[in-house]
Structure 1
């Protein structure tokens, strides 16, 4: 039956792992960069070191067992197989919450927060803050199916998530996301307001308010400078993925080193790591995420979401309650008065001292506190 929800386990064959190691060993490397920093992209020495670890020390059997410790399922929605984690809280009054990742992330981003969110008592919290967690892989990402026809933009994903929550028996729920996940949460709120009690975002995509340009705060001036840096120096991936994802996909699906560099360079750029990714994430954590692109060969299909969604027209304001957490190394860091143009009922606004684009991955304790604090106000 199309609406059946079936258990799922990640099981990667030895042949696939052997192929990965052979490709890593046989990588045809370019010459090193001509600078002593990351301004030309991920440095050769760093990528070679990480890929050597991947080939020789990364223990997929142990990592696969860890990933499979989370209850996973698949179901068909709108003709597409969707993979998701569904972790029920032991507390019966828990609030259902759908968490959505973006690019170049995956459900791996949320592994460290699922336990504290579903069972706060076991992590020093209150049962009143408990959530039932639903964490899907975006279409074309991880172990969800790849769309074979165009039309799977963020609006359709939002409708699919609403259908998924209904199928799981959740009529009243919250939504949370960053990156594409923020766009999905926003569209869930706009398209299904009768079911969504509120959304929490850790990337708030809004334009600067022209009416404030003659009265900018220091914080807003810094936000504009950050946006300018992103457009000029940090957004080449966006142009490629939103215009020619298929061309890019040939290299990413064929070369594990290429797929790794394409992802890890953005983790370096967008995390609050003081220039060293290992300050906040381990090599295993980084490679767990890369594996969810490499194994299912999603280099093209994941990039295609940009082609589908990036040129969407003007969005209507969100009227359901919203919580906004602006982490200091996020790509876009608007002020509250800019955000209030797009989100008319902001109940929670905070600017934590640590964290970046992958907040749940980098700063799980802070992330959990932010999510709890917002939803505590509207349960």
Structure 2
């Protein structure tokens, strides 16, 4: 049960042909009155994107690129866990576990693996390099789904601690954004004697209504922007908490429905851009979406919403931990740092880093630079 087995992606050609056939036979709805995205994804835009997915997107090329990274499967707590494991050519590399978000996958980090593991080849100081481990969260991509209710980010973190021990790593860092920003602090709580530090893309120090009276004008302006982002768009937490099975039936059967849903969410997460593909390469987005389609994981990946991100269920911000240092890529206002420091040992809080929600996809160079800056302080 502790065996680590090599793994390669090999999607059957029949599945690729079936996807193209389904895309070609789509029954399109008429566009509703309104402009832009105010009623959802524009039909004309989605039709063009679907045509590109069917006729120009080269899955086999993307599959070969993903298979260039060593991948493995091992069983943990009765579930097969898929993971990428790339060792650095540099001596004394720091082991680093990266946890992806939703609606994402290990594809999220593919453009950062090279600079993290082989900085010398990318014009960076080789004195700091990383062995990178990127597991697929249970229910995502090639990892087995939870078999019963009750999966939480704390349980995932405990599985990650087992994985790192199985790989022979005694001291390592943890990093994540979105769903990964919930798992990484839980990993520090699960194995504080092994975790060097936790680097997050964001999600801590978030104010509540109780904090509003003490806010400065700058704080209030940022709070208004946060409220607009948190309450705008489609609330996937509410939707998938209420009826994940119902919606997954549509997404699993229709690639058009899946494409519309995923691009809707990526659009909302790219909140400062006109279109998600203005900041994330179209093929990069479609590689992630195709992975959901081929692995049929739109339903099984919904557990963070219907089981709850934390013990006890429901939505809440990532759990505080002050056992190891925390660094944040997009720190936010001084108020947010003050709030974050109530329950976290903040040692890295930069300002001005570029990017929206999925910064590893949008700004891989900046993401790598910030991870390096944080962990350089902890060596």
TM-score bracket for this pair, using the shorter chain length: over 0.9
Mapped partners of 2:283, 2:248: distance in 1? 24
Partner of 2:325: 321
- After superposition, what is the alpha-carbon deviation per residue over 1:238-285, rounded to whole angstroms, capped at 9, x for unaligned? 201123211111111111111111111121221266303332222211
1:317/1:327 CA distance change after superposition, 3 Å? closer
Secondary structure at the aligned position of 2:21 is classed as: helix
Partner of 1:373: 373
Aligned residues: 374
Mapped partners of 2:135, 2:27: distance in 1? 35
Secondary structure at the aligned position of 2:102 is classed as: coil
Partner of 1:191: 190
Map 1:36-185 to 2 at 5 A: 36-185=35-184
Q: CA deviation at 1:63?
A: 1.1
Partner of 1:229: 228
Partner of 1:245: 244
Q: Give 5+ residue unaligned stretches, structure 2.
A: none
> Are 1:219 and 1:335, in contact at CA under 8 Å, matched by a contact in 2?
no
Partner of 1:346: 346
Q: CA deviation at 1:333?
A: 11
Secondary structure at the aligned position of 2:82 is classed as: strand
> Are 2:262 and 2:289, in contact at CA under 8 Å, matched by a contact in 1?
yes
Is 1:16 aligned to 2:15, yes or no? yes
1:125/1:265 CA distance change after superposition, 3 Å? same
Mapped partners of 2:211, 2:248: distance in 1? 41
Mapped partners of 2:211, 2:237: distance in 1? 28
- After superposition, what is the alpha-carbon deviation per residue over 1:114-139, rounded to whole angstroms, capped at 9, x for unaligned? 00000111111112210000001111
- After superposition, what is the alpha-carbon deviation per residue over 1:17-50, rounded to whole angstroms, capped at 9, x for unaligned? 1111111112222221321121222111111111
Mapped partners of 1:191, 1:101: distance in 2? 19
Is 1:290 aligned to 2:289, yes or no? yes
> Are 1:273 and 1:279, in contact at CA under 8 Å, matched by a contact in 2?
no
1:342/1:234 CA distance change after superposition, 3 Å? farther
Secondary structure at the aligned position of 2:26 is classed as: coil
Mapped partners of 1:292, 1:220: distance in 2? 40
Moved over 6 A (4+): none
Q: Give 5+ residue unaligned stretches, structure 1.
A: none
Secondary structure at the aligned position of 2:112 is classed as: helix
Partner of 1:276: 275
- After superposition, what is the alpha-carbon deviation per residue over 1:157-210, rounded to whole angstroms, capped at 9, x for unaligned? 000001000000001000000011010001001121111010000022444166
Mapped partners of 2:123, 2:116: distance in 1? 11
